[in-house]
Amino acid sequence: MRVLVTGGAGFIGSHVVEQLVEQGAEVVVLDSLAAHDAPPEYLPPSVDMRVADLRDEEAVRRAVGDVDAVSHQAARVGLGVDLDDVTAYVADNDAGTAVLLRALWRRSFRGRLVVASSMVVYGEGRYRCSRHGDVLAGPRLAEDLELGRFEPPCSRCGAPLSWAPVGEEAPVDPRNVYAATKVHTEQLAAVYGRESGSPVCALRYHNVYGPRMPRDTPYAGVASIFRSAVESGRAPRVFEDGGQMRDFVHVHDVARANVLALNSSWQGACNVASGQPRSVHDMARALSGCGEGADRPAPVVTGEFRLGDVRHVVASPARAAEALGFEATIGFEEGMAAFRNVPLR
């Protein structure tokens, strides 16, 4: 099997490439190398490396010319700084996906298409009210957050809510520009699948961490931000009260989910998660080595907040287990202990 991996030099894409090569696949990588000075040495030497922007129509046309399947990982990631980032996100994520799909359409491609999506498409996660059952969370207001009232209220009665795992059937509710582009990526790919007959799967990654993760930038995830702080001897700064619940999943497991999806006939969305939810404070403590005698500063819970952040989003991994045969194999403690000691990119 010959597979195109867009963004194959990046954090997640490079691990997908490695696992595909290990299974005997021929791999074409299309990557702009915007985050690199040269093709990274960690890519297997057998890879057919194409350096080009995903919006380069001629380069994309050549890259898709003889492939049997596509793993679309290329994207501008993170939540951005503010709405001034909107044109860059839409250009890279929406327009880049459109160029890829048009090239596939013109080639009459009907092979397997797997696209990288994200938990951010859900907005807030799933919540239950003791009176009304499953409900939408009401908006978190700045005045409540300033007073330390971080839990979202029931949208019907205002009572406190408890979180529950969110399944793929939940409605999408993007709360930032990046999330909106991920929803659109899924929708464009689904349209392509219906029109072409190509089987399409969208993998909704939860909080991915591990080797080759980018360093602390305005676009980095919380795991990278905390890991960068620990590496430089600073205490991780934990926003709100640290009780935000997330699912932290190791990049090796995420890559394996992609390989399983490429070899599956499942069509639709699947959460890619560990099934072991932890709080943000738990993660900060794990990276600091708290309780292990490590000479690292303990996390500081600051009470700071960002109005656009969601409180809890935890995945149900049931569909991925049933549809793809995917279950995470790297536990939280094992993964975080290893992550403390790997270099960031």
2-126+164-340: CATH number: 3.40.50.720
Contacts of 120 (CB under 8 A, 6+ apart): 79, 174, 175, 176, 178, 179, 182
pLDDT score at 295:
66
Cα Dmax for the chain: 60
Q: Are 151 and 161 in contact (CB under 8 A)?
A: yes
Would you call 98 helix, strand, or coil by DSSP? helix
Give the residue from 284, 302, 205 showing the smallest Cα distance to 247.
Answer: 205
Per-residue pLDDT of the chain (345 residues; tens, 9 = 90+): 999 999 999 999 999 999 999 999 999 999 999 888 888 999 999 999 999 999 999 999 999 999 999 999 999 987 666 788 899 999 999 999 999 999 999 999 999 999 999 999 998 899 999 999 999 887 789 999 999 999 998 989 988 899 999 999 999 988 889 999 999 999 999 999 999 999 999 999 999 999 998 876 554 578 888 988 888 889 999 999 999 999 999 999 999 999 999 999 999 999 999 999 999 999 999 998 866 556 678 999 999 998 878 899 999 999 999 999 999 999 999 999 999 887 676
User: So what's the pLDDT on residue 219?
Assistant: 47
* Amino acid identity, position 233: G
H-helix or E-strand spanning residue 69: strand 69-72
The span from the CA of 74 to the CA of 10, in Å, is: 8
pTM over 0.85: yes
Distance, in Å, from the CA atom of 209 to the CA atom of 79, rounded to the nearest integer, reads 16
- Check if the beta carbon of residue 76 is closer than 8 Å to that of residue 87: no
pLDDT at 216: 61
User: DSSP 3-state assignment of 189?
Assistant: helix
What residues have CB less than 8 Å from 305, skipping those under 6 apart? 145, 146, 150, 239, 240
What pLDDT does 302 receive? 95
Q: CA 275 to CA 91: how far, in whole Å?
A: 33
CA 305 – CA 146 distance, rounded (Å)? 8
pLDDT at 82: 72
What does the pLDDT read at residue 1?
A: 96
Are 184 and 174 a contacting pair, CB within 8 Å? no
The structure tokens listed for 105 are 């359409």
Token digits of residue 210? 């591990």
